[in-house]
Structure 1
Amino acid sequence: MPADARLLIMRKRVHWATLRWGAIGTATLVLVFSALPVHVADAQERYYYRRSILDFFFGRRYIQEYPPQAPSQNAPQRQPAPRRKAPSPKAAAAPRPAAPVVVEEKAVEKLANAQKILVVGDFLAGGLGVGMDAAFKDSPGVVVETHSNVASGLVRDDYYDWPQQLTKFMDEAKPAMVIVMLGANDRQQMVTDIGKEKFRTDGWYAEYQRRVVAFGQQVTSRKIPLLWVGLPAFDSPAMTADAVQLNQLFRKQMESVGGEFVDIWDGFVSEGGDFIVTGSDINGQQVRLRTSDGINLTEAGRRKLAFYVEKPVRRILGVQASPDLVRLDTGNAPVIDAVAMPGRTEPISLSDPNLDGGAELLGGRALPVSATKSPRDLLVQDGEMAAPPVGRVDDYRMAPVKPTAQVTIK
């Protein structure tokens, strides 16, 4: 190959290599400068077309260097006329709901000669008194008077002498009935004439029994009805076991002194006999009956306690405990008219078999006479049974056979 041809080929190769490296260098510079941070103001002021492949080599193409000037604030501008709103029809003001009228229940005025029920005892008796007030609030002929001492009992007579206080209360109130509820605070040592007796010993039970009898006789000796309310179950198993023993003692001694024992146990235990906090109230609704300490009663529990006592009280007082009672005297008895004497009836002879000549029933008449015997007479007298109607299930008669038509051949 001639030298000139080789030189020409080498120049072409150098030229294309130069162009190639120049393009690569240009692309590298474009990428480097595009990665550099651009001033925010310049970037916001410039407007450019959408990027294409040419921008990769030659950079972005801008429409104009500077954005159009914003109109001056001082230049007069035409304000759009405010759009008038169509007058909306006035909606009729909704009437305000009337405030509920709270009707206050007027307390029933008690009669001047109302019978008094005296409730005495410890903290449980105080709750019983509250429940009895609610039970007889609508009975004008009954007034409930409660005297209770929270920490009292029959054991510590040095702290509170119940026999002495009971006599005082009965003299002042002149009650028609006395209700006693004691024993919850008596689970402790007792001081007697002989000495000290520990709880649950035979000596303790003997002395406690004597005190219960003496306390009950203070009421029954005055011919006043006495109700002794038993103890409920408690959260403590030991207290519950002691309450069972004391209730047995109360029941037995009330029978001996002429009083009545009111058993409330089933109202505060489950079906299995366990202590419950929540149970049915007097309306059958599930409510809380006991407080968190497992000893005291809630308001619903007090009302349920009084519910058990209310029954024998109403039975003993009778009409006096009625809510419809107006006054307690003979003036409110119904007027009974004199019964008119019936007309005189003639005596009936004991020896007359026809009862004073009567042989026919009132309104009786002779039976019609028939020429033919009835089906009854045919069956009884002749032993013949009447033929059943045609077509009935017991009609066994054969239907008559129709004669065949005779055909003559001529």
Structure 2
Amino acid sequence: MKCVVAILAAVLLWAVPAVAQTTDAPIMGSSATDGMAQPQPSAERPAASDQSQPTDERRILEVLSIGDALGGGLGAGLSRVTEPGGDYDVSIRFNEESGLARPEVYDWAATVPKILEGNAYDVIVVMLGANDRQMIRDGEMRYDFGTPEWAAAYTKQANLLLDQLAASKARVIWVAPPPMRDPDYDAAMTSIAALQKDLVEKRGMTFLDLRKQFTNPDGTYTDSTTDGAANIIKLRGRDGISFFKAGNNLMGEQVLAAIKAGEAPAAADVSESAPGEKTSRLDVPELNKSDSEAKPDAVPLFGQAITDGGSYTVQPEGVTANAILLAAGDLGPEAALKTLRDIAPTGSGAERLFKLGNPETAPAGRPDDFAAPAP
């Protein structure tokens, strides 16, 4: 058992330094949500539906965050900003290529019931749409983006997901796709957001548009903001799409404000506080990351290390390297391990490692091959 603990500790520690090189890449996810084993309530804390907990204990609000690549980053930011008080337990499910336009690629309406099975959530946060500027297939028909037929097919698919969310009895906060630097892309996101808003609000759910938090006063795109000490804080990557950790934190703060208020908060200007004050958990150290450090192709796979001049990797089958980078570097240790357990597919190497503590046998001669004789 000591060997297993040592392996797991080493694996998670190896992953952390790699994230420093991914700050300008989209927060990506895993395609391992379908058919996954669902997390069970921990021994330390009853589940949200457990009525046997003592009445004098603090009530923990169970929050589920689902979405695409950007939604995964939002979930990570929400997990960070809720962590200090300990009043929220945030679970994250995301698929980097997902959306509503291509259910044949990934079907959230079919996946959500599997996620909810055996779990009770008080709040469900949704961010989808960044991948939806594309043709929709409906049987033998193909509908181009922006056409009335496309809008009708998109509405149909969105309603299927909304039906499942409504059946959960949880409060739903749907977050609009963020503004994009490319004008055509941004126009598409604005159109998709308007369609989503109409459908969400018709059901009495909360629709949260964060456009004002990520644009200039005149409504144009911006990738940065300032804090109370007039420090410039980078929120987004050079691609005009992805978010730095600071941007994810800002989104998380706005969602947390909506959760607390029970309705979408007014747009906040983080630059209006008194000099020297910090108005949010924006991560100023991100300012020091250069674009060369942020190249995705420079990111090693999960667990990569250099020993005696040679590299080796540890990447459990069933969970992508990008998902592990998110969990290991963008979350606290406990939340990271919880997320890795949650997204591990049933029967996969990731499940055996993160849930059962049974790592794959290391190839002979690799430094973590503890069967090798001592030197």
Tell me whether 1:184 sits opposite 2:139 in the alignment. Answer: no
In the TM superposition, 1:11-410 aligns within 5 A as 111-113=45-47, 114-193=60-139, 195-280=141-226, 285-316=231-262
Which structure has more relative contact order (CA 8 Å, sep 6+)? It is 2
Question: Contact 1:180 / 1:228 at 8 angstroms: preserved in 2?
Answer: yes
Q: How far apart are 1:265 and its partner, in Å?
A: 0.4
- AA of the residue aligned to 2:188: D
Following TM superposition, the consecutive aligned residue runs of length 4 or more in structure 1 with deviations greater than 4 angstroms are 281-285
Amino acid at match of 1:171: E
Question: How many Å separate the matches in 2 of 1:281 and 1:248?
Answer: 30
| CA 139–121 in structure 1, closer or farther in 2 if over 3 Å, else same | same
Q: Does the 8 Å CA contact 2:101/2:154 hold for their aligned counterparts?
A: yes
Task: Compute the displacement of 1:214 (Å).
Answer: 2.2
Distance 1:287 1:110, change over 3 A: farther
Which amino acid in structure 2 is aligned with residue 196 of structure 1?
A: R
1:7 is aligned to none
Query: Contact (CA 8 Å) 1:190, 1:196: kept in 2 or not?
Result: yes
Query: Secondary structure of 1:304's match?
Result: helix
Does the C-alpha gap of structure 1 residues 173 and 162 become closer, same or farther in structure 2, counting only changes over 3 Å?
Answer: same
What is the percent sequence identity of the aligned residues? 27
Q: Any unmatched runs of 5+ in structure 2?
A: 1-42, 48-59, 264-375
Q: Following the alignment from structure 2 to structure 1, what is the Cα–Cα distance between the partners of residues 228 and 67?
A: 23
Equivalent pairs counted in the alignment come to 209
Q: Runs of 5+ in structure 1 lacking a partner?
A: 1-108, 318-410
TM-score normalised per structure 1: 0.48
Alpha-carbon distance in structure 2 between the residues aligned to 1:282 and 1:174: 39
C-alpha separation between the residues in 2 aligned to 1:186 and 1:282? 36
Question: CA 1:184 to 1:222, structure 2 compared with 1: closer, same or farther past 3 Å?
Answer: same
What per-residue deviation string (whole Å, max 9, x for no partner) do you get for residues 329-388 of structure 1?
xxxxxxxxxxxxxxxxxxxxxxxxxxxxxxxxxxxxxxxxxxxxxxxxxxxxxxxxxxxx
**Shift in CA distance, 205/290, structure 1 to aligned 2, threshold 3 Å:** same
Q: Whole-Å Cα distance in 1 between the matches of residues 201 and 140 of structure 2?
A: 28
Report the alpha carbon displacement of residue 231 of structure 1 after superposing the two structures with TM.
1.3
What displacement does 1:171 show?
1.4
Note the C-alpha offset of 1:285: 4.2
Larger radius of gyration: 1
Contact 1:282-1:303 at 8 Å conserved across structures: no
Deviation at 1:284, TM superposition (A): 7.0
Residues of 2 paired with 1:283 and 1:192: CA distance? 53
C-alpha separation in 2, matches of 1:168 and 1:278: 38
